[in-house]
Amino acid sequence: MSLSSFIWSVADLLRGDYKQSEYGKVILPITVLRRMDCVLEETKKVMLAEYDSRRNTGINPEPFLLRKAKQSFYNTSPMDMKTLMGDQDHIKENLYSYIQAFSPSVRDIFERFDFYTQIDRLAKSGLLYQVTEKFAGIDLHPETVSNTEMGTVFEELIRKFAEISNRLPESISRPARSSASWSISSLWRMTMCWPSLESSAPSTTPRLARAACSRSRASTWQSTTRRHASPCLGRS
């Protein structure tokens, strides 16, 4: 079974409480949440130490945190998705808190995707812990799943979501389509060509190589939306 198929299989837990056309509202953002979780893992302790030393200085800590995280985003929570599993009774509150601890650009993505609504819905259905536990057990670290492989996984997830949505187009309103389209595009960009991996290349790396990565990311996304245009993924 491919990684994308394994991830999508988690949707089996949603049957009965979610319509098929709604699976992507949970699967897509939580996949990227787990990827971000894995990407930040190695620098988390150093970044948290920097956060503790800067938080009461009156100086904006963001540039320092980004430098320590070696990414274009960070998370100031001492928790990660695995430690969230240690408190089943407070999984909803802790997951809220964890997402809120991300840098503003990441929080905005999840807010536009209306992921907090899905967290609340999963909690009311008694599924939040099970779904989060499944994803916490998936290793999406860049050393395990490369940027190219992660992009392919995410494209496959988008395709599955698009195919289901195309069968049930009336289930998605226009405002939801616009928000989902923007959010999926943003999540895709976060998934492909992680800044730290590009910037960590030797200084002798030709600029054209880095530019090619950006062009590849953009063209891949455009190609995906053209092939799998749907009420959720259609161009606005």
Q: Do residues 48 and 78 lie in contact, with contact meaning Cβ atoms separated by under 8 Å?
A: yes
For the segment 60-84, what is each residue's pLDDT rounded down to a tens digit? 999 999 999 999 999 999 999 999 9
Looking at residue 157, its amino acid is L
- The per-residue pLDDT for 172 is 44
What integer best gives the mean pLDDT of the chain? 78
Identify the CA nearest to 32 among candidates 187, 141, 204, 169.
187
- The per-residue pLDDT for 98 is 98
Dist CA 80 CA 83 (whole Å)? 5
Percent of the chain with pLDDT over 90: 52
57 Cβ contact partners less than 8 Å away, ≥ 6 residues apart: none
DSSP 79: -
- The per-residue pLDDT for 168 is 52
Q: Do residues 27 and 157 lie in contact, with contact meaning Cβ atoms separated by under 8 Å?
A: yes
Q: Do residues 233 and 157 lie in contact, with contact meaning Cβ atoms separated by under 8 Å?
A: no
- The per-residue pLDDT for 77 is 97
3-class secondary structure, 210: helix
The model's pTM: 0.75
Virtual torsion, Cα 204, 193, 225, 37, nearest 10 deg: -170
Regions in the chain scoring below 50 on pLDDT: 169-181, 191-236
- The per-residue pLDDT for 112 is 86
- The per-residue pLDDT for 195 is 41
